[in-house]
A and B are shown apart, each in its own frame.
Chain A
Amino acid sequence: EVQLVQSGAEGKKPGESLKISCKASGYSFSTYWIAWVRQMPGKGLEWMGIIYPDDSDTRYSPSFQGHVTISADKSNTTAYLQWSNLKTSDTAIYYCARLEATRDAFDIWGQGTMVTVSS
């Protein structure tokens, strides 16, 4: 079964760092782009960026460039999203999603990771 399984909920304080994960299985991880999508409480979806695990080619939305880092580990078939200086405004659910390039669509989604940043 093709699936993306994300790490569990996190509670952090402002200024702390965090790395959440997205474990892929059931397909060739290296050859599909993986995106990260933010959903703030009660709000819509926002595309943050995307990575191609085979060569780690990474693209960011201008809204998130410089504030988060997207990475991938081919040996572990896992993609990551990390922050070095969390803000309360980072409180949100974060989804990873696989891009099916032949369909120009995100066909597989992780279950989401809730990140809460509060002092």
Chain B
Amino acid sequence: QSVLTQPPSVSAAPGQKVTISCSGSSSNIGTNYVSWYQQLPGTAPKLLIYENNQRPSGIPDRFSGSKSGTSATLDITGLQTGDEADYYCAVWDTTLTASVGTGTTVTVL
């Protein structure tokens, strides 16, 4: 059972914004960096955000992350049909273990 809780689904119209939350605790999000992954249908996950708010090269700035206390957030602005996917938050901690969020399905209306 995952210790990082995400809403099962969020939706918005094209061009709008969605926000995905990731709720944890002081032992995971509270003391470690959060990363975010996008899993398009039928494909492997892909890194979207690392160190709470950093984007790897090639990731558009429509995707942004933030962290406050024991929660993190992924924002997607200018929503496109190609953004329909499952999104996961994750934490890698100093005890050499990982926690992965429950996952959120983004639907473009």
Chain A 30-56, CB-CB to B under 8 Å as 1, else 0, gives 000001010000001111001000000
- CB-CB < 8 A to B88: which residues of A? 44-45
Count of inter-chain pairs, beta carbons less than 8 A: 70
Asked if B50 contacts A44 (CB within 8 A), the reply is: no
Q: How far apart are the CA atoms of A104 and B28 in the complex, in Å?
A: 13
- Knowing A95-B45, A107-B56, A109-B45 are in contact, say whether A47-B99 is a contact too (CB < 8 A): yes
* Segment at the interface with A among B19-27, B29-37, B66-74, B75-83: B29-37
Q: How large is the interface on A (under 10, 10 to 19, 20 to 34, 35 or more residues)?
A: 20 to 34
Q: How far apart are the CA atoms of A46 and B3 in the complex, in Å?
A: 11
Tell which of A44, A47, A111 touches B103, judged by Cβ atoms closer than 8 Å.
A44
The answer, yes or no, to whether A100 is at the interface (CB within 8 Å) is: yes
The answer, yes or no, to whether A27 is at the interface (CB within 8 Å) is: no
Asked if A50 contacts B50 (CB within 8 A), the reply is: no
Residue of A nearest to B93 (CB): A104
Residue of B nearest to A58 (CB): B96
Q: How far apart are the CA atoms of A33 and B51 in the complex, in Å?
A: 17
Asked if B99 contacts A105 (CB within 8 A), the reply is: no
The interface of chain B, by Cβ under 8 A from chain A, is 2, 32-33, 35, 37, 39, 44-47, 50-51, 54, 56, 86, 88, 90-92, 96-103
The interface of chain A, by Cβ under 8 A from chain B, is 35, 37, 44-47, 50, 59, 61, 95, 97, 99-100, 103-107, 109-112
